[in-house]
Amino acid sequence: SRRVLSGVQPTGALHLGNYLGALVKFTRLQNEMETFIFVADMHAITVWQDPKLLTSQVREIAAAYLASGLDPAKATIFPQSAVPEHAQLAWVFNCVARLGWLDRMTQFKDKAGKHKERESVGLYTYPVLQAADILVYKATHVPVGEDQRQHLELTRDIAAKFNHDFDVPGFFPLPEALTEGPGARIMSLRDGSAKMSKSDPSDNSRLNLMDDADAISQKIRKARTDPDPLPETLEELKDRPEALNLIGIYAALSERTAADVLAEFTGQGFGQSFKPMLADLAVARFGAISGEMRRLMSQPDEIDRILAAGAEKAREAAAPTLAEVKKIVGFWGS
């Protein structure tokens, strides 16, 4: 059977990369497969989170899911920490994964920087919890941005080693990362070689889902480009990362191919009509979403009801896997 699982961390404002790399795909996939989408609050605390803010940040991500089109009647939406089976399976996986595998994770290296001995142990084993998130539902399809590919490969390695070590062939599926399309790797508006990120100190580097029309237009107007006119083929853009990024964003927001968008603007500079039209596209899309997010955030009880119902459904789906795992491992009483 086919199952979708994915999640987003409640660690600050969502941006265009999160939206195009993840949220848009969730909304599409809920019509095709059984879908589980959670808020990764346990992943969030791998770096310090103010306890007074965490709950509202979780609600804000849930609001973003709903506002961007996730339907609780189709997709199961829940907070990670409300389903303890994730953490329980993660422990078993901590004993399956090898230190050498985690040592290779580039995201840890990027986040930890020079002083890795001062980071939490959780930040290091973070991808093991991610594998548990996915495999506790025996999910087969995981919509994520490009930056999560390595974590998905680790998930497959853990699944394969578990199946092999305990001699249970096929027990865990080897899940597939869904990273296709122009939205899978959105770059910074200020630097075409850095990905758009919540942690970039410059707010001008990203479009936030909650930005107002003025902010969006201004950020796009200021977005770094080059003075050359747009060429005919994408091939000719390969050494112009900022230009390529803007074309990709335009394509993703208008649900067209990058080649098609490029053809429309061939021979023009960015300032003429490309940037104003891109700003209009982004304002139209984000305006509708942020308006709905604000409405939902003013009704936290409604969000909490959806999360509670989702958590209950998620536990029903996760519990059988965990019961089987305990038996396979040989834990007492199982």
State which amino acid sits at residue 292: E
Least Cβ distance, residue 5 to ligand TYM (angstroms): 6
Per-residue contact string for residues 2-21; x = within reach of ligand TYM by CB under 6 A: ---xxxxx-------xx--x
The closest alpha carbon to 276, from 296, 299, 246, 303, belongs to 246
Burial 232-262 (b: 16+ CB within 10 A, else e): eeeeebeebbbbbbbbbbbbbbeeeebeebb
Q: Catalytic: which of 25, 52, 161, 195? A: 195
156 binds ligand TYM (CB under 6 A): no
Nearer to ligand TYM, 57 or 225 (CB): 57
Minimum Å gap between C-beta 196 and ligand TYM is 4
Pairing between strand 34-39 and 75-79? parallel
Is residue 86 a contact residue for ligand TYM (CB under 6 A)?
no
* Residue nearest ligand TYM (C-beta atom): 21
In the complex with ligand TYM, the residue whose CB is nearer, 21 or 72, is 21
Please list every residue from 193 through 252 that binds ligand TYM, using CB under 6 A: 195-196
The least CB distance from residue 208 to ligand TYM, in Å, is 12
Report if residue 133 touches ligand TYM, rule: CB under 6 A.
Answer: yes
Q: What are the residues binding ligand TYM (CB under 6 A)?
A: 5-9, 17-18, 21-22, 40, 43, 130, 133-134, 142, 144-145, 147-148, 184-186, 195-196
Binding site, residues? Answer: 9-11, 17-18, 133, 145-147, 186, 195-199
Mind telling me the catalytic residues?
111, 195, 198
